[in-house]
Structure 1
Amino acid sequence: MTVREDGVWSETLDLTEVKIDNARRSTGTAGRSTGTVRGHLAPGAPDWVYLPVTVPHRAVDADRVTWIAARYDYSRPEVADGAIGNAADLGVFDPRGCELGGTGFRGWSGGARAEFVITEASATPGYLPGPIPAGTWYVVLAPYTVAADGMDFTVQVEIGSGTPPADLAGTALPRRTDHPAQLITGRGAGWYRGDSHLHTVYSDGKRTPADVAALARGRSLDFMISTDHNTPASHGTWGEHAGDDLLIITGEEVTTRNGHLLALGIEPDSWIDWRFRAVDDQLPRFVDSIHDHGGIAVAAHPYGGCIGCFWRFGFDHVDAVEVWNGPWNIGNEAAVATWDNLLVAGGSSGRWLPAIGNSDAHADPDVVGLPQTVVRAEQLGRRQILAGIAAGHSWIAESADLELDLVATAGDHSAGIGERLTVNRQTSVTVSVRVAGLAAGTIRLITDQGPMHVQPLATDGVTEVSWQTTGSLTGYVRVEVRHPVDDPAFPFGRMAALTNPIRLR
């Protein structure tokens, strides 16, 4: 058997013709039908291979179909150092179709699980419970990498009526429709701390929603955004974990093969497709979809270390960029340098790209809120937080222990982080910075000419800086707070805090 150009496997698994395994039927599971697809994928196989499965109205000799399940396995040969091995993801679409951006999505687990089950009332984390309509379903086998000798795979699909067997049902969680509130009343204009890139057991994380919410509270966060990979399956679980002290916003990490895109603040249960590459020229379409669903689009970890994690779409269409992802590393250093170059390049056009930072926490020992983005918003609400991020009214901190103020003043006029101060070229501008919560390291004032002022932090933990410039000398000014140098890989020290710019002229 082969894969067609559209990625569909040439053989359909027709479960209307599969007879019941009587030995299994004796266990009390009525109407269970099983079929298997085996095949081989060569290097260069499509990114997404769709295995058609015909599901009847009724299970063989039994009542209507009420559940569908699948298991997969593939060859994992040993390969030489530096060579690519086999890796494949798993998901499924129902008879509404598997077209790009279509409505048939029913779940995704990537490489985190080897099986799934979907029933009318429950599903494996990452998958969407609901009716099991008759017609052609598509089990998705997504070969992330294929070894030189190819990938042998086996996919077993089962359907049945009644309750699925215990070996499958044990992975399922009940359908939840308890969505979090979109606004916390009584929390007016101010600076709010949050983490906008978090994972749970509903994708490849190891923490439950309850775990993540508790950790967010423990880090003194005001808001958090759930971003499980390629699925909205967790959205209905967050309501009980939100409260007046924690705004929980729904989102998705759109995991393409050419970089990851955070769909922040999309409406609960909305879904953004990820099955495209940069050469497909589909990014504008799906950024528009994110906006249509009330969210904003953020390029995640542009220099991420995994295959497919590097951002290769350019930055023309996204609303912001995640320049700080998890503990400070070389990838973050490169992301800040790239972002700073974009600030310079955008100076003449007036368009600039705001920066944010998030933990991307999946499991222990990942620290929720390391780093965190501190956003100025009119209220503690979904729309207001997203507006603050998109406007660049934010700065990034490694913890809630740090406080930072940045203001530029010219005469009677002033501007803060993410704002513009309109001045004549020779107008004198005073830039004032206050940092509290760190007693060793440096404050660095960065402009379009580079670092223009560097000052040690005061040993009492509160440092104030006043620096003079003019509109002709400075197009923008931003602040970095760095720890003392402890590694030659970071000649300026590891980052402790980072602001978006104030733009002059």
Structure 2
Amino acid sequence: MHTVYSDGKRQPSEVAAGARAAGLDFIVSTDHNTSASHGVWGPLAGDDLLIVTGEEVTTRNGHWLALGLTPGRTIDWRYRSRDDRIDDAIRAVHAQRGLAVSAHLYCPWIGAEWKFGFDGLDATEVWTGPWGWDDEAAVSTWANRLAVAARHGGDWLPAMGNSDAHSPGDVIGLPHNVVRADRLDRDAVLAAIKAGRSWIAESSAVKLTLNATAGRRTAEIGERLRAHPTDPITVTLSVAGVPNGTVRLLTDQGQMFQTGLPGDGSGSITWRTTSQAAAFVRAEVRHPVSGGGAGGTTMGPVAGFGPMAALTNPIWINRL
């Protein structure tokens, strides 16, 4: 999110108040190309709100997020993709135990569309502010990369969602990341994001759990479940807060299960698979095609689905 210290219209105190009102436990300060606000946040944080310092690195060929910077430190932004300088910039973030995250991959603004590839990144932003066509494209790109990781057995890139709120009209926390961390501090939260132990929600009204079980072994979002090729695997998804929504379960083969939620927005489903049939499973929860979702977005249908309400990172399924 952004403040008056870069191109935002809110004071840091207004951002902190908005984060608390949205039910957030943590935020990252990401003013563009500056650390000017870093020294302001201390009195605004508390046991109920962790505030992490960072930067949105606004290069000539795309923006990326440096999360968890040492207060007062900045990362250089004065280069293009063909200048071969981003690797050094990412190493500078990692030297501070921070994360590098590509932002709004398909943003149509000049210089904002992502052109650097994904090598060295810790996560990628697939949902930015109110749901739109660019988010559909970003999720598709990310999902294709998951399938490649499943095929080659390499590292995978977790997904994030961020509100990128600038002005009073921008909804703080639309969307935000729900992170399974051991404690509410900088290192625990960043480690969980890097591991993909997180899912994305449009608001704190949306609740979700996803797990997969094989015998006595259970895995949650971002974890790996080991099973023999023919072992039955039970996937369980519970959702609340999305009236008349659509639930989708997707694997490396694409969508494998779909069902609707009732008018009260709550439901629980089970789906069965094997490690031979699925290398991973992830979930999406969509609003009805005619629904507006949070923040007043009026995104039209894509392949018959309305705006996103929740999106998970995968549970990986490894063959024994």
* Corresponding position of 1:469: 273
In the alignment, is the contact (CA less than 8 A) between 2:279 and 2:316 conserved in 1?
yes
**One-letter amino acid of the structure 2 residue matched with residue 462 of structure 1:** S
Separation of aligned partners in 1, 2:198 and 2:116: 24
Which of structures 1 and 2 has the larger relative contact order (alpha carbons within 8 angstroms, sep 6+)? 2
In the alignment, is the contact (CA less than 8 A) between 2:289 and 2:301 conserved in 1?
no
Report the alpha carbon displacement of residue 461 of structure 1 after superposing the two structures with TM: 2.6
**SS at structure 2 position matched to 1:304:** coil
Unaligned ranges ≥5, structure 1: 1-197
Of residues 329, 337, 358 in structure 1, which corresponds to 2:162?
358
Of residues 278, 281, 287 in structure 1, which corresponds to 2:84?
281
Residue deviations 1:91-129 (CA, integer Å, cap 9, x gap): xxxxxxxxxxxxxxxxxxxxxxxxxxxxxxxxxxxxxxx
* Corresponding position of 1:338: 141
Report the alpha carbon displacement of residue 437 of structure 1 after superposing the two structures with TM: 1.5
**SS at structure 2 position matched to 1:377:** coil
Of residues 21, 46, 50 in structure 2, which corresponds to 1:247?
50
Of residues 308, 311, 314 in structure 2, which corresponds to 1:498?
311
**One-letter amino acid of the structure 2 residue matched with residue 379 of structure 1:** R
Matched, 1:418 2:201: no
Matches within 5 A, 1:86-485: 198-347=1-150, 348-485=152-289
**One-letter amino acid of the structure 2 residue matched with residue 202 of structure 1:** Y
Identity across the alignment (%): 56
Residue deviations 1:144-173 (CA, integer Å, cap 9, x gap): xxxxxxxxxxxxxxxxxxxxxxxxxxxxxx
**One-letter amino acid of the structure 2 residue matched with residue 297 of structure 1:** A
Separation of aligned partners in 1, 2:245 and 2:12: 36
Separation of aligned partners in 2, 1:229 and 1:460: 40
Farther off after superposition, 452-461 or 494-503: 452-461
Residue deviations 1:146-202 (CA, integer Å, cap 9, x gap): xxxxxxxxxxxxxxxxxxxxxxxxxxxxxxxxxxxxxxxxxxxxxxxxxxxx00000
Separation of aligned partners in 1, 2:264 and 2:301: 28
In the alignment, is the contact (CA less than 8 A) between 1:407 and 1:415 conserved in 2?
yes
Greater Rg, structure 1 or structure 2? 1
**SS at structure 1 position matched to 2:137:** helix
* Corresponding position of 1:107: none
Separation of aligned partners in 2, 1:275 and 1:426: 53
Q: C-alpha root-mean-square deviation of aligned residues, in Å? A: 0.9
**One-letter amino acid of the structure 2 residue matched with residue 445 of structure 1:** L
Residue deviations 1:68-96 (CA, integer Å, cap 9, x gap): xxxxxxxxxxxxxxxxxxxxxxxxxxxxx
**SS at structure 2 position matched to 1:360:** coil
Q: What TM-score does the superposition give when structure 1 sets the normalisation length? A: 0.60
In the alignment, is the contact (CA less than 8 A) between 2:301 and 2:307 conserved in 1?
no
Separation of aligned partners in 1, 2:110 and 2:243: 39
Richer in helix (by share): 2
* Corresponding position of 2:294: none
Matches within 5 A, 1:46-125: none
In the alignment, is the contact (CA less than 8 A) between 1:320 and 1:355 conserved in 2?
yes
Separation of aligned partners in 1, 2:209 and 2:265: 14
**SS at structure 2 position matched to 1:335:** helix
Separation of aligned partners in 2, 1:465 and 1:360: 33
In the alignment, is the contact (CA less than 8 A) between 2:300 and 2:307 conserved in 1?
no
In the alignment, is the contact (CA less than 8 A) between 1:270 and 1:293 conserved in 2?
no
In the alignment, is the contact (CA less than 8 A) between 2:162 and 2:175 conserved in 1?
yes
Report the alpha carbon displacement of residue 349 of structure 1 after superposing the two structures with TM: 2.5
Q: What TM-score does the superposition give when structure 2 sets the normalisation length? A: 0.95
**SS at structure 2 position matched to 1:331:** helix
* Corresponding position of 1:169: none
Unaligned ranges ≥5, structure 2: 291-298
